[in-house]
A and B are shown apart, each in its own frame.
Chain A
Amino acid sequence: MANEPEHIEGRAETAPPQHSTVAPGGPATAPGDVMAGPPAVRIQGLWKKFGEQTAVHGIDLTLPAGRFIGLVGPNGAGKTTTLSMVTGLLRPDAGTVEIGGHDVWQDPVSVKSRIGVLPEGLRLFERLSGRELLSYIGRLRGLPGDEVDKRAGQLLDVLGLSGAQHKLVVDYSTGMRKKIGLAAALLHNPEILFLDEPFEGVDPVSAQTIRGVLERYTASGATVIFSSHVMELVESLCDWVAVLAAGRIRADGPLAEVRGAAPSLQDAFLELVGAQDRGAGADLDWLGGGRAR
């Protein structure tokens, strides 16, 4: 797929410097052999059917620890379904998921304290204020009260929510909800963070802030796994990518490897999901031209 030099170059551009310590063995050629410890996530034979429809179609995937990992795919590819099953919010029909070497369904005690989750399409406790929400979730996670309050204050500050911290979450905007959800996911300093479309509805300034927070977080050796539709963002943030389409993994590996010879991740993605010639087709020849009707 990719020739070696280009592949290394590609990583060197985007990877934060400390990755040389995470992966001392040189260029990553296959997932798994890079690190000393267990992979962040190991998925084997994961299936999920909703009635007749197969949302996730036998996924095998190993994601290395200490990386910024992007999960991309068209609408309905199964990203949300996969992330829900990996984080223990949805029971798979078949397959196993291990996080940091612990089985999600057999050993929830080890897993739940290690992960942070920002799901998509699920609500928050919206009748709490932003600060109350953080204080609630932090204490549920068993952190000491004053530590929760300290961390909550700092997170609210960094994410630009201090001004709205006493407002009920029900009155938050879409982007503010994403940010408070992110703060809730980060509060207990998890080793692995799962974010489903964390940048959806977030303004450019806040997106930059979130990037900063997440980059600092991965720099300390933690893992971020997030789904997104914005290829430019994935390309500039991630050093590892998995492409999902119709419930199957189409490609996964270091960014440069997945991108291959294509000029950008966008092109590689379109090629992988086979959507290149389904462009602005001739079917819509009535559209435009300023002639109403």
Chain B
Amino acid sequence: MSTASAAAARPATAPSLTGVFVRLKLSLLRNGLRQSTGRTLAYVASIVVGLLFAGAVVLGLTALRGNAHAGALAVLLTGMLTVGWAVMPLFFPGSDETLDPTRLVMLPLRPRPLIVSLLMASLVGIGPVVTLMLVAGAVIAVADGALAAVVGVVAAVLVLLVCVALARAIATASVRLLTSRRGRDLAVLGGLFIALGGQGVNIAAQRLGRPDGLSVLEPLGEVLRWVPPASALGAVDDAGHGAYGRALAGLALTALALALLLWWWQRTLTALMTSPDSSTLQALEKDGARRSGTGERGLARLLPDGRTGTVMRRSLRYAWRDPKSKMAWATALGVGLLVPIATSAQGNGSMYTAFSASALLGAQMYNQFGQDTSAFWMVASTIATPRDAYQELRARALTLALVAVPYVTLVVVGAAALIGPWSDFVEVYGLSLAVLGALLATGAMSSALFPYSIPSEGNKNVAPGQGAIAWFSLFGGVLVAAVLCSPLVALTVWLHVAGLHQLLWLLLPAGAVYGVGLAEAGLRVAAPRVATRLPEILGAVSKG
């Protein structure tokens, strides 16, 4: 193994490199803590929470010893841990500055000992400790007999090394991307990843909580147990059942993966440390691609001329290119779909959960100008009349509708098909459209009256000091939107109560017309306010 030979060679070539790195990492941790009490508290809290969480999981796994599905669970847990380690450096770059290879470029270090030392230094920290505990818990859950215990110790060490090496290798491979200006966009998307991942875990936990829920894992575990490093955990299970050949194969797979990872890491690290920064070249190549790409241009040509089409084109480009807009869109689309799916997965779904799609997409209309940041001056300097403002707002509402109407349709149809009953389809669809229209209307109003700025860096979506405005406008607006929709809700209830079920289909055209009417009225009321409040809006969205 390359690791073994490297480790053997290390004392001769660079006697204390590992020690140096480990000490460097420890002192960085210590200095970080010394900076402020708040940070110390946060760090201590995260350690305590991490250890408590790991401890609880270990206890749970110990309790599962002997369960028929413990093997699948252990394998799955290892797989999830590995995925976590793999995406960590992408979403939270710079979380470990000792190991930022760009900082080592100036040092006369040979790659192989460097890799070993970096790997050892990576093992210092709360993350690896928690990981080791979790893996140990998984081993405890499946290890049956002395031989399995021995295999378990080897497996735990291997899994930990693979996880850490994977994280470092990915961080190194993507360092150019992550230190570039646009690469940090990924960090913004990290929050979304966590939100969706959390929801996924939530659903999974609910499923597993049912009697015999663990059996759901079997097919997944069957595949995963041959994927390293989870294969090491599979090996522990096999060793307990006397399947020594399978056990050996599982361990070997993980060891091979580790060797390959280290080799890849070393190669990218060497390339990184010896080649010039090529980010400019890459940027140029990408620009070439954008120029020749005609797809968007073809689609963009379908949009109307004048202010409407111009604003829509820009909004759509921003939805894709601006990390904050992209995240907002992805969240609205993702969560809007997730709510009906999650509730139906729990078995107590109602078709009315499909409202989440129109609610979340409609809420995108709020704080339209905050999304522009201080670049809003360009919009402001071209708005001279309420009519200009109306066209600007209408174009933004149309952009939203362009995505929201088909999407809401899709979600409502999906909800009718999966949750049912189809008899509710018409009223849910009609009400959804009305909700969308009401939110567009109140969103336009609150964009005019309660703008606030969205900092472009980091995960915050409200500038300090403007949180109250943001919450007030969103909740106030949603309340008003609910009130605006109440006539239609009343109509629905009345049709049901009066037993006029044959007239329920009326709710669809009524909802659509009512939604369009509300949106149009909202835009018309908001437009003159935008036109007279341009400097105030610009001031509000330029903060932070």
Residues of A within 8 A of B (CB): 87-91, 108-109, 111-113, 117, 119, 121-129, 132, 136-137, 139-142, 145, 166-168, 170-171, 184
> Of the candidates A111, A126, A141, A145, which one forms a contact with B375 in the assembled complex, judged by CB atoms under 8 Å apart?
A126
CB-based contact B382/A122 at 8 Å: no
Least distance between B301 CB and chain A CB atoms (Å): 10
Chain B residues whose C-beta falls within 8 Å of the C-beta of A113 in the assembled complex: 384
CB-based contact A112/B382 at 8 Å: yes
Chain B residues whose C-beta falls within 8 Å of the C-beta of A141 in the assembled complex: 382
Cβ-based interface call for B102 (8 A): no
Residues of B within 8 A of A (CB): 181-182, 283-284, 287-288, 290-291, 305-307, 309-311, 313-314, 317-318, 321-322, 372-375, 377-385, 534-536, 538-539, 542
CB-based contact B307/A125 at 8 Å: no
Interface centre among A117, A140, A171, A184 (most CB of B within 10 A): A140
Least distance between B177 CB and chain A CB atoms (Å): 14
CB-based contact B535/A166 at 8 Å: no
CB-based contact A89/B378 at 8 Å: no
CB-based contact A123/B382 at 8 Å: no
What is the bound-complex CA distance between A145 and B318, given in angstroms? 21
CB-based contact B310/A89 at 8 Å: no
> Of the candidates A91, A137, A171, which one forms a contact with B535 in the assembled complex, judged by CB atoms under 8 Å apart?
A91
What is the bound-complex CA distance between A85 and B484, given in angstroms? 39
CB-based contact A170/B182 at 8 Å: yes
Specify the main secondary structure of chain A where it touches its partner: loop
What is the bound-complex CA distance between A201 and B313, given in angstroms? 31
Chain B residues whose C-beta falls within 8 Å of the C-beta of A145 in the assembled complex: 305
Least distance between B281 CB and chain A CB atoms (Å): 13
Please, could you name 19 A-B residue pairs with CB atoms under 8 Å apart, sorted by A? Answer: A87-B381, A88-B381, A89-B381, A91-B535, A112-B382, A113-B384, A122-B375, A123-B375, A125-B378, A127-B317, A136-B314, A136-B378, A137-B378, A139-B306, A139-B309, A166-B288, A166-B291, A167-B283, A168-B182
What is the bound-complex CA distance between A170 and B373, given in angstroms? 13
Chain A residues whose C-beta falls within 8 Å of the C-beta of B317 in the assembled complex: 127-128, 132
CB-based contact B287/A88 at 8 Å: no
Chain B residues whose C-beta falls within 8 Å of the C-beta of A108 in the assembled complex: 384-385
Least distance between A97 CB and chain B CB atoms (Å): 12
- Lowest 6 CB-CB distances: which A-B pairs, in order? A139-B310, A127-B321, A91-B535, A140-B382, A108-B384, A122-B374
CB-based contact A122/B377 at 8 Å: yes
Chain A residues whose C-beta falls within 8 Å of the C-beta of B383 in the assembled complex: 112
CB-based contact B534/A88 at 8 Å: yes
CB-based contact B385/A109 at 8 Å: yes
CB-based contact A128/B314 at 8 Å: yes
Chain A residues whose C-beta falls within 8 Å of the C-beta of B306 in the assembled complex: 139, 142
With A89-B535, A167-B283 given, is the CB distance from A123 to B290 under 8 Å? no
CB-based contact B310/A119 at 8 Å: no
With A167-B283, A170-B182 given, is the CB distance from A122 to B542 under 8 Å? yes
Chain B residues whose C-beta falls within 8 Å of the C-beta of A90 in the assembled complex: 535, 538-539
